[in-house]
Amino acid sequence: MAFEGLADRLQSTIQKIKGKGKVTEQDVKEMTREVRLALLEADVNFKVVKDFIKRIKERAIDQEVMESLTPGQQVIKVVKEELTTLMGGEQSKIAVADRSPTVIMMVGLQGAGKTTTTGKLANLLRKKFNRSPLLVAADVYRPAAINQLQTLGKQLDMPVFSLGTEANPVDIANQAIEQAKNNHNDYVIIDTAGRLHVDNDLMAELQQIKADVKPDEIFLVVDAMTGQDAVNVAESFNEQLDITGVVLTKLDGDTRGGAALSIKAVTDKPIKFAGMGEKLDELEAFHPERMASRILG
Ligand code: GDP
């Protein structure tokens, strides 16, 4: 399970301070030292860890906290609040355009789970919000990607817009939006091309789609299992495209947690959804507070 090592270590660390009737500055320093090591081992970005620890120290080494009736618990509360803030604080919502359809552009590297997540997101929008999405196959370089989206469309009994591999992605997106208007699809989810690595051609193409289509959301799909790489990918995509949110996939695997804990701090963009498996119903809204509780026990 994800975060297992991190959760074990943080829980045993906070356990030591939990029941203490008196907490000294030294106790807090010891705790933060252990928390720092646990986060670094979980592959959390170095600078993110540094700032996080600084904030905990500032808030926990405080007269009001240390002289309270339950200082141990107060310190733990600080850790939990800061962990929640680190992962984005409030749960963030999905956009709804003033004028239908709401357009969502899915971007990410090949293999991150972009196409699967396109299907999962459509499923979630229908099930939870009673929406009627149109899926759009704009990855014109890989016929397999188009087929994959069409298969997902069949499984979900949802329309998929495709013009094959010969058309230009901007035209595909524009025509898909027209079709959505005619057929009363209130969400258009565009599955764009991925590459093995961040490259300039890909970014230029995505920027063109963005400029022309003006999507309401640009979701970057990243694989949580890739740790710091996921964070670097998020940084590059955000610089080039000013994404609106991140979908973290494969959180059902044994990821150490680094990506989940660093992405918001590094990009200042929220993690909106988490992929929890390969199946079409295994996508969840990302709740920072619940995730923090899961990690801290
Ligand atoms: P794309 O190249 O980014 O479009 O990636 P795909 O959608 O084809 O997904 C790549 C692989 O990751 C597939 O085998 C998916 O089933 C798998 N996958 C996607 N999301 C998840 C997830 O949340 N959990 C797990 N375990 N597998 C996932």
Q: Quick: pLDDT tens for 50-82.
A: 999 999 999 999 888 888 889 999 999 999 999
Q: Above 90 in pLDDT, residue 19?
A: no
Residue 116, annotated as binding a ligand? no
The mean predicted confidence, pLDDT, of the chain is 94
Residue 108, annotated as binding a ligand? yes
Residue 195, annotated as binding a ligand? yes
Residues with CB under 6 A from ligand 1: 108, 110-116, 194, 249-250, 252-253, 275-278
| Residue whose structure tokens are 């969840």 | 284
| Residue whose structure tokens are 């929008």 | 125
Tell me whether 0.85 is exceeded by the ipTM. yes
The pLDDT of residue 2 is: 80
The pLDDT of residue 39 is: 96
Q: Ligand 1 mean position to 204 CA, how many Å?
A: 25
Residues 149/191, Cβ–Cβ less than 8 Å: yes
Percent of the chain whose pLDDT exceeds 70:
100
| Residue whose structure tokens are 């943080």 | 10
- Ligand 1 atom 6: residue of nearest CA: 113
The tens digit of pLDDT for each residue in 74-108 reads 999 999 999 999 999 988 889 999 999 999 999 99
In 3D, which of 257, 258, 231, 256 has the Cα closest to residue 246?
A: 231
Q: Ligand 1 mean position to 62 CA, how many Å?
A: 46
- pTM > 0.90: yes or no: yes
CA distance linking residue 216 with residue 22, whole number of Å: 51
Give mean pLDDT, residues 121-129.
97
Structure tokens, 80: 């939990």
In 3D, which of 38, 189, 220 has the Cα closest to residue 113?
A: 220
